Amino acid sequence: MCAWRLPADATCASVSRSLLTIALTALRLGRDMIDDVTLAASELATNAFNHGLRADPLSPPVPPELWLWARVTPSPQLVVSVFDACRSSFPDAAPRDLLDEHGKGIGIVSMLGADWGAHRSRSRLGVGYPGKAVWCAFPLRTSWPNPRLTAPPILAARHLAATLTVRGVHNVEHRHGRGVSLVTVPMVGTEINVWVEPAHLTYSAPDGSRARRPVVDLHDTAENLTGYHEGCRG
């Protein structure tokens, strides 16, 4: 998982393209995919600069952040996300016509990626500043990431708890038994228990649905849990 702080000025789009080009070239993901991912990230960064630098008009600007990780659920995908400080506005669920010169960025993102979305989140860098994340996902046709990856439950549980804590999710607890660990994440009026086994993370979402994720999806799971904690994740 990669996370970069972008400049809070008009260069944020070009900086995001440069960062992703370096990272994706190192991963040998192919020129076409690199072009699509960097273009989508550029549009997300531009939207963050134009509409998301401040939580409200009187607040100081907060630098956007560019995030990148891989997941295998619901299918092998590369996820690119841009975090910004504004929660008062979210992208339209139905992107505008690509011929419309205003607000066409999400239309481009939805055309390039297999999926996209937006939800409340918190900064990964710094002090867990509240805001939102707008993301898109691209299919991966390689053996990476490996869905059969395993990890000692005690280490995976500690890493998950530390990842949530540094982002401002307070009072996360973890306990450990023989071959399994438990991470308890507080929510408004309730909590989510994440059972950590060598190969899987299992929890029940606030809507009652049950998720069982490969341990390689730890960073994606952490983002889901952060969204649930912030009260705006479907």
pLDDT digits (tens, 9 = 90+) for 112-171: 999 999 999 999 997 778 999 999 999 998 778 898 999 999 999 999 999 999 999 999
Residue 46 lies in a domain: yes
| Spatial distance between the Cα atoms of 129 and 166, rounded to a whole number of angstroms | 10
Element (H, E) at 35: helix 31-51
* One domain for residues 82 and 169: no
* One domain for residues 12 and 77: yes
Any idea what the CATH number is for the domain that residue 96 is in? 3.30.565.10
Digit-coded pLDDT (tens) for 192-231: 999 999 999 999 999 899 999 999 999 999 999 999 999 8
* One domain for residues 100 and 27: yes
Indicate yes or no: pTM above 0.85: yes
pLDDT of res. 102? 45
The residue range of the domain holding 173 is 153-229
User: Which amino acid makes up residue 75?
Assistant: S
pLDDT of res. 172? 96
* One domain for residues 187 and 215: yes
pLDDT of res. 65? 97
Digit-coded pLDDT (tens) for 16-62: 999 999 999 999 998 999 999 999 999 999 999 998 999 888 889 99
pLDDT band at 186 (very low <50, low <70, confident <90, very high): very high
Query: Residue 44 half-sphere exposure, CB side, CA atoms within 13 Å?
Result: 34
* One domain for residues 9 and 102: yes
Q: Could you tell me how many residues make up the chain?
A: 234
Residue 147 lies in a domain: no
- Residues pairing with 214 in the sheet: 200
Structural domain count of the chain: 2
pLDDT of res. 151? 95
pLDDT of res. 141? 83
What mean pLDDT is reported for the chain? 91
Q: Is there a contact between 183 and 174 (Cβ–Cβ < 8 Å)?
A: yes
* One domain for residues 110 and 158: no
| Spatial distance between the Cα atoms of 107 and 111, rounded to a whole number of angstroms | 6
Residue 104 pLDDT greater than 70, yes or no: no
The most distant pair of C-alpha atoms in the chain lies apart, rounded to whole Å, by 58
pLDDT of res. 96? 55
* One domain for residues 127 and 40: yes
